[in-house]
Amino acid sequence: MESFQKRTTARRDEVLGTLEELQAFLSERALEPRTRNAVEVAAEELLSNVSKYGFPEGLPGEVSFAVELGPGGVRLEIRDSGRPFDPTAAPPPPELTLDAEPGGRGLLLVRGLSGSMTYRRDGPLNVLVVEFPSP
């Protein structure tokens, strides 16, 4: 099983660097393009959320990120020491209308791209696992 792992601060510039490294890792693997794209989009959304909302402003914490490629698909795991937040329990965003507030649709997108998403609190850590089954 091949894997990509990274531990970094949740600052925006660090997150962007991690995403670039992930894209390079995935592009060198024989992944179906649709799966690769889904993993990249989900990783960007989830890591951006940790960076923006997980920690008090000015106090970025740590985030660790792992992607495992296996015969059944791709497993993405994000661990962060931020505020407790269960994205699997977040309510769906309001219906999209012309006067709707922007934002709030990223988790909906991740749910639609993935096969499953599970959350648990492990001591001081949020642990989110997102799985993308092979087509």
What CATH number is associated with residue 125?
Answer: 3.30.565.10
At 89-131, the pLDDT tens digits run 987 766 655 554 555 668 888 999 999 999 999 999 999 999 9
Domain count, the chain: 1
Residues 6+ apart with CB under 8 A from 135: 32, 34, 35
Neighbours of 99 (CB within 10 A): 4
Q: Calculate the CA 73 to chain-centre distance.
A: 16
Identify which of 47, 44, 82, 86 has the alpha carbon closest to the alpha carbon of residue 61. 82
At 51-81, the pLDDT tens digits run 888 988 767 789 999 999 999 999 999 999 9
Q: The whole model's pTM is what?
A: 0.89
Residue 99 domain-assigned?
no
**What does DSSP assign to residue 88?**
G
Identify which of 86, 91, 135, 130 has the alpha carbon closest to the alpha carbon of residue 112. 130
Residue 79 domain-assigned?
yes
Its domain, for residue 52, covers 2-94+104-133
User: Could you give the CA distance from residue 114 to residue 44 in angstroms, rounded to a whole number?
Assistant: 14
Residue 25 domain-assigned?
yes
Least confident of 4-13, 29-38, 49-58, 60-69: 49-58
Average pLDDT over residues 11-36: 93
Residue 116 domain-assigned?
yes
